[in-house]
Amino acid sequence: MFGWEFPPHILGGLGTASFGLTRGLANQGDVDITFCLPKPWGDEDQSFMKIVGMNTVPVVWRDPDYNLLKSRYRWMDPQDYYRFRDHIYSDFSNLYTNDLGCIEFSGRYPDNLHEEINNYSIVAGVVARTEEFDIIHSHDWLTYPAGIHARQVSGKPLVIHVHATDFDRSRGNVNPTVYAIEKDGMDNADHIMCVSELTRQTVINKYHQDPRKVSTMHNAVEPLPKEIQDIVPQKKPYEKVVTFLGRITMQKGPEYFVEAASLVLKRTHDIRFCMAGSGDMMNAMINMVAERGIADRFHFPGFMKGKQVYECLKASDVYIMPSVSEPFGISPLEAMQCEVPTIISKQSGCAEILDKCIKVDYWDIYAMADAIYSICNNSSLYEYLKAEGKKEVDAITWDKVGGRILSRYKKLLGIK
């Protein structure tokens, strides 16, 4: 598998999804997974698969000491380094490499992202020549070139996993370079898995793929660990909290949330709104809140990580995700795990598998405001969504997704 992010060091939903999916697949048994990451931190969970750090794979021949390797990369076997070294397939000495002959990766989304993607695929060539495998699985467009490269080297079938397309990220103003990479990946793939039917339709219609090779593989959620389940919700009896949690960008539709909030606050005053996260539209949103005159009731706590996210969720009475275009959207599922009634836009992929939540059009601020008001004012609706939502989301597990992926693999490989 080729991926870009992996917990605990994640920047978006991609890492979480890659992790859950891999574990779900590993739990099926009889599956060995090697997961390639640009820059592992060493604290990733390797109990169910092997992680290969692309920044530890040499592309230029060097002869470091075993003990040096041992001290530099404590979490990996230095023997792997030598194995990879035997499969350097071309002269890459013109590239910038470190003293071990490896290419450095930032593991994030830097300005020279395209260069990193290219380097990633160069390294992937070495890995593909070294490791033995039956199938290649690439997560998101950053790793498609690597997947294609590995497929050409090994002749094994390539599955690409579409977690998002550029159409979702840009509300239609597609970056041509990104589109080209995505399209190339899809054209060369033997099978395309999409995280929702919504994404599947985009892939079919905008990337002109044959519907027969495109399937839907909905995401799932990991059960909450004990320490998070034990967080005691900090709720105030005299007011309700409505939370938006995510990157504050065009894709997530934050302005619709602000509009709905200002409508709600025209009628009631015992509701607070919280927009957690950061993003390029944050300042615009702060401005907008001030213009509407609701800044005393509308808060921006900033970017949240790990446990903070769950503390924030548990303190909320309503979770809202008004995304304009969301390939899947895992956060409403997390909110439902925390027993928070959830409002999502119909333009989100997760709307396809969720029933015990309120769905509205992202632009319908009146419906959104009405739904917020209703949950805050009618305890029966609140209790119903809280209890039934939890039940529903608990039944959505990665193991089921893993099973579906495995059967798809078998079909591709012709195993019955």
Site map (CB under 8 A) of other proteins, residues 248-287, x = contact? ---------------x--xx--------------------
CA dihedral 411, 394, 232, 306 (to 10 degrees): 10
| CB nearer to other proteins: pick between 279 and 332 | 332
**Neighbouring residues of 293: CB distance < 8 A, sequence distance ≥ 6:** 262
The minimum distance between CB 327 and other proteins, in angstroms, equals: 22
Instruction: Look at strands 342-345 and 271-276 and give their pairing.
Output: unpaired
Please tell me the distance from the alpha carbon of residue 151 to that of residue 138, in angstroms, as a whole number.
Answer: 11
Nearer to other proteins, 178 or 376 (CB): 376
DSSP line for 215-269: EE-----PPPPHHHHTPPP---TT-EEEEEES--SGGG-HHHHHHHHHHHHHH-S
Compare residues 222 and 339 and give the one whose CB is closer to other proteins: 339
Interaction of residue 358 with other proteins, rule CB under 8 A: yes
Closest to 352 (Cα-Cα) out of 182, 201, 186, 245: 201
Using alpha carbons only, give the angle 196, 198, 200 rounded to the nearest 5 degrees. 70
**Which token pair is 87?**
């499969």
| Of 299, 251, 232, 252, the residue nearest 272 (C-alpha) | 299
Give whichever of 89 and 366 is closer to other proteins, judged by the CB atom: 366
Please give the full DSSP string across 72-87, using - where no structure is assigned.
H-TTS-HHHHHHHHTT
* Residue 344 touching other proteins (CB under 8 A): no
Using CB under 8 A as the binding rule, the residues of this chain from 367 to 396 that contact other proteins are 367, 369-371, 373-374, 377-381, 383-385, 388
C-alpha 346/C-alpha 190 separation (Å) is: 30
| Least Cβ distance, residue 370 to other proteins (angstroms) | 5
Segment interacting with other proteins, rule: CB under 8 A, options 43-51, 61-69, 300-308, 359-367:
359-367
CB of 323 to other proteins, least distance (A): 18
Among 72, 156, 299, 359, binds other proteins (CB under 8 A): 359
Give the binding range for other proteins (CB under 8 A) out of 46-54, 118-126, 321-329, 366-374: 366-374
CB within 8 A of 150, min separation 6: which ones? 2, 124, 125, 127, 128, 136, 156, 158
- Give SS3 for 302: strand
In terms of CB distance, is 266 or 410 closer to other proteins?
Answer: 266
Q: How far apart are CA 215 and CA 225, in angstroms?
A: 31
Report the nearest approach of other proteins to the CB of residue 263 (Å). 7
Whichever of 144 and 382 has its CB closer to other proteins, that residue is 382
Give min distance, CB of 272 to other proteins, in A. Answer: 17
**Residue 326: strand pairing partners:** 348
**Closest approach of other proteins to the CB of residue 356, in Å:** 8
Residue 48 or 384: which CB sits closer to other proteins? 384
- Pick the stretch among 146-154, 250-258, 363-371, 404-412 that binds other proteins (CB under 8 A): 363-371
Q: Could you tell me how many residues of this chain bind other proteins (CB under 8 A)?
A: 21
Site residues for other proteins per CB under 8 A: 263, 266-267, 358-359, 366-367, 369-371, 373-374, 377-381, 383-385, 388
